[in-house]
Structure 1
C-alpha cells in the first residue's frame, strides 16, 4: 500500500477553487493519458456482452471441439478466438473483458466505502483531538498491524458452509475485506491534514464568528481535505484491484468458472499452458497492467493539479 503522506497536499487557507476545474484537469498530460487508458478499460467492461454476442462465446462456455487441438492443447489467436482459448476451451478475450467487470465492480465500491469510512474517522480524530485522537490512532495502528493476505484468507474461510459453498456472495465478502484494510490509510491521511489545518486563521475566524462544529467540519475543513482524499482514492483503487486479483489468484476471491483476472492468471500459472498459448496469461496480465497504470497516471495528474500551491 502507498503511504498516504506522499499524497497529502498542504492545507488550503482559502476555499477550494472550483471554477473551470474540469478544463484545468484536462490540460494536465497525466490526467489525459490516464483518462484514455481508464476509458478503454471501462469501454471493454461495458462492451463485454456485445463482444461475447458477436463471437458467440460466453465467458464460461467451453468449446473443446474447436478450441482445443487433437492433443488437448488450447488454440492460439484466430478469427474465431482473437486471443486464443484456455485449457478448458474458453475464449480468453471474452473472459478478459468480463474480468474487467469483476475487478471494477469490486475495486470501485470497496475503495469508495473505505474512503467514506476513513475520511469520517479521520475528521473526528483530527478535529476533536485529545483522547478521541489517541483512541482512533491506536485503532488505526492495530488495524495496520494485521497482514493483509493472512487475515483475508482467514476471514474468507468463515464464508464457507459445511458443504463447501459460500454463505454470502463472494464478491460482497471481498469488498468488505478490502474495505477493512483500506479505510485506515484514508483515516491517517485525513487526520494528519485536519491536525495541521484546525488552527489556521480561517478556521479560527469561523469559530469566532459563532459557526457550529458541524459547519466548521463540513463547510470549512472537508472541502479543503477533499482534494487530497480524492487523489488518494485514485491511488488506492489500483491497489485494491491488485488485492482482488491476489485473493482470486489464491483461490479465495471470485471463484471459477466466473472470469476474474486473478483466477485467470492463476489458471494459466497452474496449468503452464501459457507456454503453448501465451495469450492465456498475457490477456488478463496486460489488462491488469493497463488498468493499474491508468489509475496511477490519473492520480499523479490530480496531485499536480489539486496541489494548493499551484492554484
Structure 2
C-alpha cells in the first residue's frame, strides 16, 4: 500500500460510516412500518419511545393484514393501479420519445419556442394546474363501467382514463429523451435518409435501438410516479370502481380510533413489492441513469 493510499483509508472509512448512517436513517421508517404491521394499536404506541418500535418483538399477529384485505378491496385497487401504470408508461414511451425525436433530430419552424415551453413546464408544479385540469376533464364526455357494462358519461371523473390520458405526455420524459437523442451522431440519420428511409423509419430503426438506456430510465421513473399517484385520483376518482391503491388507504381513516396496525399493513402491501422490484433492478436502473446522460 502506497503512502497516499494509507492516507486515504481514514477518509474512506469516514465516508462509508456516513453512508451507513444515512442508510439507517432512511431505513428507520420502513422498519417501523413493517414491525408495526404485526402489532396491535396498544403495542405500537407502547413501543414508540424505544428501539422496540423498529423491531418485530412482543405479541405479533397477522390480523392486521387479514383486516386490511377485509376492509379494503385491495385486489381491485391493485388491478386499477397496475392497469393505469402499464398503459400510461407504455403509451408515454411512444409519445414522449417521438416528440423528443422531432425536437432533437428534425428541423422545423417553431422548434425553439416548443423547447422553451418544455423547460417552463418542467418548473411548473402539478398542484398548480390540478384544479383547472380537473374542471376541464369534468366537462369531457366519455365511457365508463356501470354494473359491468359500458355506459356513456358526461364527464371523465371516476374513470380509469382520467388517470391515464393527462399523464401520457410528460415534459420531464420528453426532456430526458431529447437530451439523449441530441448526443447521437446525426451521421446515422443522414446515412438512413440516403438509403431512402422516412423520418419514422429513422426513429424506429436507428434512434430507438441506440437509446435503450434512456428508455429504461423513463420506464422506471414514470412507473414509480404513476404507482405513487395520490392527489390526482383523490380529486377525480370519488367512487371505488376506478380507485387506485394509494387512494384506497383513505378508508382506514375517519373512524373514532384509527387502526394504525391495519394502516401499516396496507402500506407494507403497497411498498414491499415496489421495493423488491427496485432492489432486483437496481443495477439496471443505475446503468440506465448513467447511460441516459442524467447529471446532478
Cross-structure match for 2:222: 236
Distance 1:77 1:256 in 2: 29
Confirm or deny: 8 A CA contact 2:65 2:265 kept in the other structure. Answer: no
Deviation at 1:118, TM superposition (A): 0.9
Q: Does 1:260 align with 2:244?
A: yes
**Distance change >3 Å, CA 278–CA 107, structure 1 → 2:** same
Confirm or deny: 8 A CA contact 1:237 1:295 kept in the other structure. Answer: no
Match of 1:152 among 93, 106, 130: 130
Distance 1:213 1:116 in 2: 15
Q: Does 1:178 align with 2:164?
A: no
Alignment of 1:25-44 (within 5 A): none
Distance 1:264 1:308 in 2: 37
Confirm or deny: 8 A CA contact 1:238 1:296 kept in the other structure. Answer: no
Number of residue-to-residue matches in the alignment = 216
Deviation at 1:121, TM superposition (A): 0.5
Distance 2:198 2:122 in 1: 33
Distance 2:225 2:163 in 1: 14
Distance 1:253 1:99 in 2: 15
Q: Does 1:192 align with 2:179?
A: yes
Deviation at 1:189, TM superposition (A): 1.4
Deviation at 1:113, TM superposition (A): 2.2
Cross-structure match for 2:112: 134
Q: Does 1:281 align with 2:281?
A: no
Cross-structure match for 1:28: none
Distance 1:267 1:254 in 2: 14
Distance 2:246 2:257 in 1: 16
Alignment of 1:9-28 (within 5 A): none
Deviation at 1:242, TM superposition (A): 0.9
Distance 1:296 1:153 in 2: 32
Deviation at 1:204, TM superposition (A): 5.0
Cross-structure match for 1:290: 272
After superposition, the C-alpha distances for 1:195-230 in whole angstroms (9 at most, x for unaligned) are 11133x545554566655444332222211233213
Cross-structure match for 2:54: none
After superposition, the C-alpha distances for 1:113-150 in whole angstroms (9 at most, x for unaligned) are 22221111000110014755413312312332432123
Cross-structure match for 1:226: 212
User: Any gaps of 5 or more consecutive residues in structure 2?
Assistant: 1-60, 140-152
Cross-structure match for 1:100: 78
Root-mean-square deviation (CA), in Å? 3.4
Runs of 4+ in 1 over 4 A off after TM superposition: 129-132, 201-214, 304-309
Query: Considering only CA atoms, is the larger Rg found in Structure 1 or Structure 2?
Result: 2
